[in-house]
């Protein structure tokens, strides 16, 4: 419970993914992963689903992550064949220990990581999604 009697994690869930506020309050079809266990399970499920996916590794303290998250959510509605996943690196310290830059985007096809994009850029992200769709 926080100082005002509410649950801080619950409030973060309502305001945005991983505590990041989203413009318009919409998450599109982005799945939020908040723990190492959830991220490992999500990565395992990508292998069995064989669908294209993109994981956005961000951080609540990263201003660039905050800027790219709304377009990422919008793109989840445009590229419906993709599975869109957001994870805050601070919530998954074991599974994200090799992430050295935020945001980092990992692209998956047939359960295997096929590409990585470091940094933001709405047009760059859109082009990568188009390339992998």
Q: What is the pLDDT of residues 74-130, one digit of tens each?
A: 999 999 999 999 999 999 999 999 999 999 999 999 889 999 999 999 999 999 999
In b/e form, how buried is each residue of 97-132, taking b as 16+ CB within 10 angstroms? eebeebbbbbbbeeeeeeeebeebeeeebeebbeeb
pLDDT score for 123: 97
Burial class (CB in 10 A: 0-12, 13-18, 19+), 56: buried
Q: What is the pTM of this model?
A: 0.80
* Active-site pick, 54, 65, 68, 89: 65
Q: What is the pLDDT of residues 6-20, one digit of tens each?
A: 433 333 443 355 555
Domain boundaries of the chain, sorted by first residue: 8-132
62 is catalytic: yes
Domain 8-132 in CATH 3.20.20.70? The answer is: no
Catalytic residue selected from 62, 73, 85, 129: 62
Q: Is the dihedral of CA 9, 10, 13, 14 positive or negative?
A: negative
């Amino acid at each position: 419970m926080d100082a005002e009697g509410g649950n801080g994690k619950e409030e973060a869930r309502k305001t945005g993914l991983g505590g990041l506020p989203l413009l318009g309050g919409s998450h599109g079809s982005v799945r939020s992963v908040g723990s190492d266990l959830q991220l490992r399970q999500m990565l395992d499920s990508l292998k069995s689903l064989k669908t294209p996916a993109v994981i956005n590794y961000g951080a609540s303290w990263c201003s660039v992550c905050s800027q790219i998250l709304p377009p990422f959510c919008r793109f989840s509605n445009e590229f419906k064949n993709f599975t869109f996943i957001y994870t805050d690196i601070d919530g998954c310290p074991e599974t994200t220990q090799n992430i050295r830059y935020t945001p980092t985007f990992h692209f998956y096809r047939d359960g295997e990581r096929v590409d990585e994009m470091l940094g933001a850029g709405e047009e760059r992200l859109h082009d990568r999604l188009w390339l992998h769709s």
